[in-house]
Amino acid sequence: MKYLSTRAPSNGPTHSFCDILLEGLAADGGLYLPVSYPRVNGDLLDEWRRVLAGEGYAALAHRVISLYVDDIDSDDLLGICRRAYDAENFGSTQVVGVSRIGDGQLWIGHISNGPTAAFKDMAMALLGELFEYELTRRDRRLTILGATSGDTGSSAEYAMRGRERVQVFMLTPAGRMTPFQQAQMFGLKDPNIHNIAFDGVFDECQDAVKKVNADVAFKARYSIGAVNSINWARLLAQVVYYVALYLQMTGSNEEKISFAVPSGNFGDICAGHIAREMGLPIDRLVLATNENDVLHEFFSTGRYRVRASQEVAATSSPSMDISKASNLERFVHDLMGRKPEITTDLFDTQLSAHGRFSLRRTEAFQNLAERYGFISWNSTHADRVQTIRGLWCDCGILVDPHTADGIHVAHHLAGQIHSPIVVLETALPVKFADTIIEAVGVMPPVPERFKDVMDQPRRVVDLPNDPEAVKAHIIEQLG
């Protein structure tokens, strides 16, 4: 399997999986995609169903990921998957699970059982093992530069902590994360973890990361890599849980299910798009946003308009307080027939010059829902609180605010969907105690592994909204 940037000509040079694993963002500013998506059929899904039931999630991950990776020995890749998805880290060999909400159409896909109680652990656990394997094989070191709106940072840092060949510099939007999220990150003592409170919103953190990556000489000197969902390996790891949840929900490949996904940066649901393109029998991909509804606007009108930083609302589902959805470029590239000149014009020329583009009048957009299964809606703070309260009072189910966004939107759109809807859980409620208390009047349960997290001293550096300040800090720390 070979990979191309979304902005590279189809006859341009291709790259191996391990090369793009370490590179992250392509040199031309695009995002990597496989030259084509492998297809799965009913026989293969039947085999995977037996593997998941008998050998567990790690073995399934090995089977799925092997379709995309031909430059890691199969036995080595199986070992990587087993170390990433061991029962000690995720609570069971099945790793993920589903439970029904009452007796209705909606289910919850439980994908946040990992070390930091967020679905991001599903990808980061694998990414940490992949990085260690490939850096050791090449005798190299890597400097990870990332941005987080909430959970990516803690998941990445927990996955990379203590790894000798990796340094992590993580930008967080100052004052925009919950106290628990900050404590998870800033309380880490590992010398290879560097937290930066950046004077800006998440989009500006993400812009700074991209601008540092654009400095080719700096990127080469410090071996800058990525763990954000701009890294293809992140999305590949997430494809696996769509497969696992589908297999757990069905006994026959004739059945279809839908997924409702809270989304800000379009990474989680982009993995669902990839799984659907592979042939996984997904009916609808239901995209849920919060008040920062740039993605809902795009999927409902065809207009993609990036908001100015002052327009990005600080909400009670902060991991979705985003207006520049990095992974949308991957989907639009597929939508528009994988024509790199169109992708470059939209995301480089038009977006840079005007902060927006529109596909409303294109034939591709007119056929979007039918061809790709996407529908969308948004959610507000009042919707989240009402959803959390209703689930708790009626079913004894407690969910975090982002998952509540997904449930609210799934419920709103359920009449348009004729299949079971699995709402992807985003995190455990403990990470968002203030909203939980507002909704139900009780403190969410604190898992034993987090009982002292709020008491740890904090290690974090404040930096101005300036990519040069980020580079200077990296130089200061690494020399």
Mind listing the pLDDT tens digit for each residue in 194-247? 999 999 988 899 899 989 988 999 999 999 988 877 899 999 999 999 999 999
pLDDT of 336: 97
- Mean pLDDT throughout 274-284? 98
Q: Are strands 374-378 and 282-289 parallel, antiparallel or unpaired?
A: parallel
Please give the pLDDT value at position 456: 87
**Alpha helices (H) in 215-327, listed in sequence order:** 216-221, 232-249, 268-278, 294-301
Q: Which of the four pLDDT bands, split at 50, 70 and 90, describes residue 339?
A: very high
* Cα 39 versus chain centre, distance: 22
pLDDT of residue 180: 86
| Contact present, 72 and 17 (Cβ < 8 Å) | yes
pLDDT higher than 80, residue 149: no
Domain ranges of the chain: 98-117+232-440
Residue 452 CA: distances (Å) to CA of 100, 157, 187: 32, 18, 10
Q: Over the stretch 292-332, which tens digit does the pLDDT of each residue have? A: 999 999 999 999 999 988 899 999 998 899 898 989 999 99
Return the H-helix or E-strand segment holding 355.
none
Which class for 464: exposed (0-12), middle (13-18), buried (19 or more C-beta within 10 A)?
exposed
Q: What share of the chain in percent tops pLDDT 70?
A: 100
One-letter amino acid of 321: D
Beta strand 32-34 pairing with 3-5: antiparallel
Looking at residue 81, what is its pLDDT? 98
pLDDT at 58: 98
- Is 210 a catalytic site residue? no
User: Which residue is catalytic, options 2, 120, 189, 256?
Assistant: 120
Residues 472 and 306: their CA atoms lie apart, in Å, by: 28
Beta bridge partner(s), residue 196: 171, 461
Say yes or no to pLDDT of 385 above 80: yes
Whether 281 and 357 have beta carbons less than 8 Å apart is answered as no
Average pLDDT over residues 357-370: 96
**Pairwise CA distance, residues 247 & 230, whole Å:** 27
Confidence band of 181 (pLDDT split at 50, 70, 90): confident
pLDDT for the residue 160: 93
Task: Give me the pLDDT at residue 440, please.
Answer: 97
409-439 pLDDT, tens per residue?
Answer: 999 999 999 999 999 999 999 989 999 999 9
What pTM did the predictor assign? 0.93
Q: Domain 98-117+232-440's class?
A: alpha beta
CA contacts within 13 A on the Cβ side of 80:
25
State how far the Cα of 433 lies from the Cα of 129, in Å rounded to an integer: 31
Do the beta carbons of residue 423 and residue 410 sit within 8 Å? Answer: yes
Name the least confident of 22-26, 245-249, 346-350, 473-477: 22-26
Q: Could you tell me what percent of the chain has a pLDDT over 90?
A: 82
Q: Report the pLDDT value the prediction gives residue 289, as an integer from 0 to 100.
A: 97
Question: What is the tens place of the pLDDT at every residue in 34-70?
Answer: 999 999 999 999 999 999 999 999 999 999 999 999 9
Tokens of 204: 């500006």
State the Cα–Cα distance between residues 425 and 417, nearest whole angstrom.
20
Quickly count helices (H) and strands (E) in the chain: 22, 15
Q: CB of 309 within 8 A of CB of 204?
A: yes
pLDDT in tens, 69-123: 999 999 999 999 999 999 999 999 999 999 999 999 999 999 999 999 999 999 9
Q: What is the pLDDT of residues 111-144, one digit of tens each?
A: 999 999 999 999 999 999 999 999 999 999 999 9
Task: Answer yes or no: are the C-beta atoms of 314 and 321 closer than 8 Å.
Answer: yes
What is residue 25's predicted lDDT score, i.e. its pLDDT? 84
The pLDDT score that the predictor gives to residue 455 is: 86
